Each structure stands twice: as C-alpha cells, then as structure tokens.
Structure 1
Amino acid sequence: MITKNGFFRSILLFTLVAGHLAAATITIDPVSGIAAGSPGDTVGWGFSTYNTDLLQSISFSQSVLVNETNPLLGFYVDLIGPQGGPDNFSLDPNSTWSEGFDLVNQFGLGYFVIDPSAIAGSSDSGSIRVFFNLADGTPDSIDLPFMVQVQAPAGAPEPGSWCMLLLGLALLTGRRRRRAA
C-alpha cells in the first residue's frame, strides 16, 4: 500500500540514484502522495525539485499516471508539463523549484478530478511519471507514488434543494385543492 511513507520514499530515492545519476530529484507534496476528496472533488499535488546537474538545464515536458489500480475513479491533468520550469520553461543547473498545488492558478505537479459517482472508500493508486529533458535533449523520467481516496460527501443539504422541495409541495397542495373544488 502506498501509505508506507518511509519505505516508498527510500525506493524513490534509490530509483533516482541507482543505475545512473539522475539530473533531478523531485518530491511530492503531500509527502505521502495521498490526496483525498469527496466524489466530484478536484485534488492535487505540489512538488519540490532540485536540478543536480551542474552544467545542463532541465525542461519538464509532462506528467502522467502509470500503473493505476482503478483508472475509472477519475482523470488526471498535468500541470508541470505546460510550465516546463520556473524560468523560460526550464530549471537552471544546480537550482530548485517548488510549487504548492493551486487549482485556480494552475500551479503544482498535477490534479485529479474524482468521478461524481465514485463510492466513498474507493481509491486509485500507482505512480505519477514525470518526464523531463536535459538541455542536450536526452529524455528521462521519474515515477512518484500516489493515491486518491474518496471520502463521504458532507451531510448538509443544499439550500436550493429545500426551496425546490417546498415549492413542489405547495404546487401539489394547490393542485389537490383545485381538484377537490
């Protein structure tokens, strides 16, 4: 399960360092990778990244969900790709870039729109794969664990639904009185 924070962070760091030296390290916000919301909600992730390369800049091209356990729970929208980086669509050598999730301004790693008919307690997990290019054009990617949890919606009724109910009852009462007369 994705909620084992220390284990998966260790795997992520090992994946970034093992086999080759990655040009970037990236962490997800919240660190657990879990974004929870009610059916129909939009939830998302922020990030912090560091360009470890001393000579080449990085341009982030896109992020996608991979290895999803329940892809019908909703859909993912990439935010880091359209930005590319903090300065002219790139991240300078030996520098950092951080953004919290902000749906209004379209900041962050990406967001997930939970299906309005999703059942409370259901979830989708997998990895968020972040693609990036070095200044020389060599593509690479990073996988980040994620999970979306569906919570029960708030129990308070909408004010408009009470008005519609009262209006409907008044119309039915009026119709009965006309028939009786």
Structure 2
Amino acid sequence: MYAISLGDDGAELRPLEPWHAEEFLAHLDRGREFIGQHIPFGTKAVDVDSARELLQAFADKRATDTGSLHGLWLEGKLVGGVLFLHFDAERGTCEVGCWLEPAGAGRGLVTRAMRILIDWAVEERGIHRVEWQASSANEPSINVARRLGMNRDGVLRESFPYRGVRQDTEVWSVLAPEWRAARARAWK
C-alpha cells in the first residue's frame, strides 16, 4: 500500500493491518514491559486472534474515517507505531498517539512519523486542532509533543488510573496555523 521513508536509517512508516497480527504480537511481546510503563496499549493482545482483533478495530476506524494505525519499521522489523486515536474531520479535531518497543526508542522515529501524520491531517484533511495526551510521568512522550511544536493546554489531575496509581494527564495541542508557521520556519 505505502511505505514512507523516515530517513537514512532504514526506518519506514507503513499501514498496520489485521494481516500483520503475528508480527504485531511478536513486537508487543518484545516490548510489553517497556510499552506498558505509561500506557495500556496492546495489553489485551495476548495471542494472534486478540492481536488481529485490535488491528481490525483500527481498520474499522479507518474505514469509518474515525481513526487509524500506522506501524514504524526499522530495517524491516516492526518496532512501534503512531495512530490517530480519534479523528473527527467534521469538527476538525484529532488525537494522536504513539508506542515503541526499546529497539525503536531514542531514534526520533515517533517525531519523524508524527510530522507526516500531522501534516497530512492539517493539509489534506483540514484538521484544525491536533491533540496529544500523555501521563505527566512519561517524559519521552512529553518531549515529542514539544518537538512537534505543541503547546501544553493543561493538566487533568489524577484523571487516569493506571497500575493502581491515579496519573495526571497532560494535554498538548497544535493548531493548523501554528503547524504551518512552524513548518515554514523549519524549511527556511
């Protein structure tokens, strides 16, 4: 379908579809502890069938234009992904997110992939507000939001119970005019 190069390091952004269930499960198994530090992504995918169900749920979201899932491959190996958790073209809003296994961390993969997703959302789909939510304890995720030029809108105090602790959730966003201005400055 598509494979978008993310640079000279062999990284690619590709669709993550139900037929990737075995590869997706193997990826989750490699990174389950790392991924699960701050988010419950993939916790219900414990076998090929449940992995396929998760991927199918996002394929259904893509079909209804309400979300989508995209994998990050590094030298042919799935190491993480980015997603539109919520996508509302009518209201011009979306929420983006990500996850990585250790082999993909610290390489800028999420930032590079997210620039492609946000650019597409703003320029192709007319999205006005792109939102990013992360636990205040998830510094790598907060740093991605900063690198993307997002502004911190606020903190939802103790809004997310996870692993027996109520986590603060930071809400970050970038508006279409801000995105375009930041992109123009970067291309000078």
Higher helix share: 2
Query: TM-score w.r.t. structure 2 length?
Result: 0.27
Normalising by structure 1, report the TM-score: 0.28
